[in-house]
Structure 1
Amino acid sequence: MKKIILIAAILLGALTKGQAQVLTKRIGQAVKEGYQDVKEAIVQDAKPSGEHTIWDIYAAPKVGLNLSNLPGIDGKVKLGLIAGGYFEVFVAKNIAVDAEIKYSRQGSSGVYRNFTTTDATGNIVIQEHGPYDFKLDYFNMSYLVRWYPWADLPWSFTTGLNTEYIISAHAKLKHGADMNLKKGIYRGDVAIPLGISYEWKQWQLEARYNVFFRKLARSNEAKELMRNARNNMLEVTLGYRIQVL
């Protein structure tokens, strides 16, 4: 009886080992084929031009840097990060519409503010405070029209509407307190983007200036510090275009 059990265990072990080897081989082959499919979908033989087929659809992640400041207060230009992606659909041979989402860090640095107070004798005293470093983090949604004016050149021009929603907002006084401005400024902002881009293979280099109009400060405390400040931003991004249809 013991011999029979031992022989059965050996046979079961051999069978299990063989099945495991077959299963491992099949999994490896599936992973290899899946990787190849993904690679072929992402790496395309693109020869961009200014003329496309109607209803072509592209997707593109993008990342870059922006230069921003806050007109209305005397500050320095701030360097920030911008990252996101968009979908693009061609509605004509040389015109596409885009829907884009992205994150951006904006603001201004080296900002000084003068505050008027009265001393113990009733005299008016002007006190200078600063420098402040403004850090504004936004979630952006853009609705754009892209125009390719030349059929044989991959240059395009972009405009539309950019909406921003505040994620966090801080004004840090050098060697001092960090003021949370999120509740003191307007939650949303709107801009008109004006951009130009060039495509090479699947890469797209784009420069875009966003024209803002709205004053940021909403509460009295924020108005005391920010006065008539509004957003102002120039962004330069590098995107990787993938044709999905």
Structure 2
Amino acid sequence: MKKIILSIIMLSAGMVAMAQHAPGTVTLQPKVGLNISSMTDADDADPRFGVAAGAELEYQVNSFFSISGGALYSMQGLKGSDDVDVTMKLDYINVPIMANFYVVKGLALKAGIQPGFNVNSKLSASDNKVSGSVDMGDITKTVDFSIPMGISYEYKNFVVEGRYNLGVTKVFKDKELNIGGESIDLSGTDSKNSVFQFTLGYKFEL
């Protein structure tokens, strides 16, 4: 029985070892995809659909484990639709730093940390008669932190990935937002980014 169990373990390890890039390999993965974003305390809001695009570098430590880091332009925020269509546009340059665990051929489980840097912050509104936008840069924090978790599958260097970015820092400063002469106090809000991200990439060995 011990010999059978040992044989199965060795066979499984060999299959995983053959499935991944060789230890010491560095790959570059350009990627593009879709964000479905909202905020943790916005139960009555609709998600904003946006683009995620960028590239990641990955270093294969051994047959089972790698580390990666990258930069992605990420369109985030949310939408509301009552009498007036409202879209909160929060765009970031995110820098995911990931630990990747290869569990079976081509399949990796991922987790890490992700600082993000706000590059656009606007609130747009429109109805049948008028439309306009308000710059929210003064009330939006410049740096955002989140915890990315995901799963990816690689086949012939093409990589399909699903990832969830759970925000851990508040999006807004404790200030007031002025819209059309009216002030909205944000000091009591605890809004954090919540983003589902789906991407397609291709790995190049360097």
Do the two structures share a fold, i.e. TM-score over 0.5? yes
The within-5 A match list for 1:35-46 is none
- Residue in 2 aligned with 1:62? 31
Three-state SS of the structure 2 residue aligned to 1:92 is coil
Alpha-carbon distance in 2 for matches of 1:131, 1:171: 11
Alpha-carbon distance in 2 for matches of 1:210, 1:163: 11
Alpha-carbon distance in 1 for matches of 2:109, 2:19: 11
2:152 aligned with 1:197, yes or no?
A: yes
Does the Cα contact within 8 Å between 1:52 and 1:94 map onto a contact in 2?
A: no
Alpha-carbon distance in 2 for matches of 1:234, 1:50: 27
- Identity fraction in percent: 26
Alpha-carbon distance in 2 for matches of 1:91, 1:171: 44
Three-state SS of the structure 1 residue aligned to 2:184 is helix
Does the Cα contact within 8 Å between 1:137 and 1:166 map onto a contact in 2?
A: yes
Alpha-carbon distance in 2 for matches of 1:90, 1:225: 48
1:52 to partner: Cα distance: 3.9
Across the aligned residues of Structure 1 and Structure 2, the Cα RMSD in angstroms comes to 2.0
Deviation string 1:199-231 (CA, Å, 9 cap, x unpaired) is 110100000001112221214224926633221
1:92 to partner: Cα distance: 1.8
- Residue in 1 aligned with 2:196? 234
TM-score of the two chains, using structure 1 as the length reference: 0.68
Does the Cα contact within 8 Å between 1:50 and 1:148 map onto a contact in 2?
A: no
Does the Cα contact within 8 Å between 2:24 and 2:60 map onto a contact in 1?
A: yes
Three-state SS of the structure 2 residue aligned to 1:60 is strand
Three-state SS of the structure 1 residue aligned to 2:176 is helix
Alpha-carbon distance in 2 for matches of 1:49, 1:102: 30
- Residue in 1 aligned with 2:113? 161
Alpha-carbon distance in 1 for matches of 2:36, 2:195: 6
1:91 to partner: Cα distance: 1.2
- Residue in 1 aligned with 2:125? 173
Alpha-carbon distance in 2 for matches of 1:59, 1:162: 18
1:141 to partner: Cα distance: 0.6
Counterpart amino acid of residue 145 in structure 1: A
Does the Cα contact within 8 Å between 1:68 and 1:79 map onto a contact in 2?
A: yes
How many residue pairs get matched? 179
Alpha-carbon distance in 2 for matches of 1:184, 1:160: 27
Alpha-carbon distance in 2 for matches of 1:217, 1:49: 47
Distance verdict in 2 for CA 1:83–1:139, change over 3 Å: same
Does the Cα contact within 8 Å between 2:48 and 2:87 map onto a contact in 1?
A: no
Deviation string 1:138-192 (CA, Å, 9 cap, x unpaired) is 0011111111012xx1100111111110001001122344111112111111111
2:184 aligned with 1:224, yes or no?
A: yes
Alpha-carbon distance in 2 for matches of 1:50, 1:96: 13
Match of 1:135 among 85, 89, 96: 89
More strand by share: 2
- Residue in 1 aligned with 2:67? 97
Deviation string 1:68-107 (CA, Å, 9 cap, x unpaired) is 0123233101110000001111112210010111101011
Alpha-carbon distance in 2 for matches of 1:148, 1:49: 11
Rg comparison, structure with higher value: 1
Alpha-carbon distance in 1 for matches of 2:86, 2:157: 41
Q: Which sections of structure 2, spanning at least 5 residues, go unmatched?
A: 1-16, 178-182
Alpha-carbon distance in 2 for matches of 1:215, 1:98: 26
Q: Which sections of structure 1, spanning at least 5 residues, go unmatched?
A: 1-47, 113-128
Alpha-carbon distance in 2 for matches of 1:68, 1:111: 15
